Amino acid sequence: MFFLAFGFCSRAIAAALHSVFEMNEKLCSSVAQQMILTEDSVSDLMELLSVDVELSSSAADREETLCSKNVMRKQRNWERRLEAKRRKRKEEKQRRKQSQQEKDFVPQFSKRVVKAITKERLEEARTTGPRLCVDLSMTDCMSHKEISRLACQIRRLYGSNKKTQQPFHLFLTDMKKDGLLYRECIRMNAGFLNYLIDVTEDSWIELFPSEDIIYLTPDASEALEQVDDDKVYILGGLVDESIQKKISYTRAKELGVQMARLPIDEYMVKKPNSKNFYSKILAINQVFEILLTYRDTGSWTTALSAGIPVGKGYVASSEALPEGPR
């Protein structure tokens, strides 16, 4: 009985041990499978990370390439701007050098010397230059405002005569020293009493031979062809605002002197404008500027183009452009 009981127990223990061994094998197999799965997962993860790294690296490379292109483009633009600045500085330096050479070539005079030269030139014109008179006998036809404007025109006329290389011998005739114009000239024109102009109360018809006189008026039929040093040119002292027509023309005709107009019709044409306005009436200083320019250039086209304001409605005609110095 004892041996039977012992044998039964041994088989039970063996079965139990066999069962334990089977469980261990299954457990080990499961752990092994889990480990295999884990390794596969890790491998897949590593592959994904590798792809991400490759993608990140590729994006970084593209970004770096793009940045490099932008940097190179900015560098080229900067170099171009720098080169342009260098070239501009070089040109400016050459221009200043040339300007300085011209200044060194042309003698520079002090104001005192310039004033002395101008005075000498004006004094010489009083003996050898062409004569020009401003007829001031018509001030009774003008208002106070118009007389003040005439005083300003006299100042400008004298200023132009001082600047030119070929000045006129100027006269102010019929200038009454007790008149309003004389007082306005003193009040408005600094140094008027020291002007190198012959100011007289006499009339121009009493000062010069009638055969030497040419009265310049826009109403004359004949055009002025040239400025002759032997003639005496008379300008009527009237301003643009005067509404009375042909006053100077009537006066010159009554005295029987030669009359002439600026050759505007011969060398200028009307330019269309919105106001359809055209005028040949000029201030005495504007007429005088035209005469000065003509003497310097010998060209009526140049003189009229420079002296007639655009607002008058006239421009140089194409037929007159080829005209050269006389």
Under DSSP, the state recorded for 26 is H
Over residues 15-42, mean pLDDT:
56
pLDDT exceeds 60 at position 32: no
Supply the pLDDT for residue 304: 93
pLDDT band at 290 (very low <50, low <70, confident <90, very high): very high
What are the backbone dihedrals phi and psi of residue 63, each rounded to the nearest 5 degrees, phi first? -65, -40
pLDDT exceeds 90 at position 239: no
**Residue with the larger pLDDT of the pair 67 and 120:** 120
3 state SS for 224-292 = CCCCCCCCEEEEECCCCCCCCCCHHHHHHHHHCCEEEECCHHHHEEECCCCCCCCCCCCCHHHHHHHHH
pLDDT band at 3 (very low <50, low <70, confident <90, very high): very low
Supply the pLDDT for residue 101: 65
pLDDT exceeds 80 at position 252: yes
pLDDT band at 36 (very low <50, low <70, confident <90, very high): very low
Question: Which range is least confidently modeled, 117-121, 303-307, 320-324?
Answer: 320-324
Q: Which of 83-87, 103-107, 188-192, 311-315 has the highest mean pLDDT?
A: 188-192
Return d(Cα 184, Cα 139) in angstroms, integer. Answer: 12
pLDDT exceeds 80 at position 41: no
What are the backbone dihedrals phi and psi of residue 272, each rounded to the nearest 5 degrees, phi first? -55, 135
Over residues 252-273, mean pLDDT:
91
Return d(Cα 309, Cα 304) in angstroms, integer. Answer: 9
Query: Cβ contacts of residue 185 below 8 Å, gap of 6+?
Result: 151, 154, 155, 192
pLDDT exceeds 50 at position 285: yes
0.75 exceeded by pTM: no
Supply the pLDDT for residue 80: 85
Supply the pLDDT for residue 29: 57
Structure token pair of residue 235 = 């300008």
Beta bridge partners of 198: 171
Over residues 278-307, mean pLDDT:
92
pLDDT exceeds 60 at position 256: yes
pLDDT band at 196 (very low <50, low <70, confident <90, very high): very high
What percentage of the chain exceeds 70 in pLDDT?
Answer: 72
pLDDT band at 111 (very low <50, low <70, confident <90, very high): confident
The answer to whether 159 and 192 are in contact (CB under 8 A) is no
Q: Which fold has domain 111-262?
A: Alpha/beta knot (3.40.1280)
Over residues 207-221, mean pLDDT:
93
Q: Which of 52-56, 93-97, 137-141, 284-288 has the highest mean pLDDT?
A: 284-288
Q: Which amino acid is at 221?
A: S
Domain ranges of the chain: 73-108, 111-262
Over residues 266-273, mean pLDDT:
89
Over residues 155-183, mean pLDDT:
94
pLDDT exceeds 70 at position 53: no
pLDDT exceeds 70 at position 173: yes
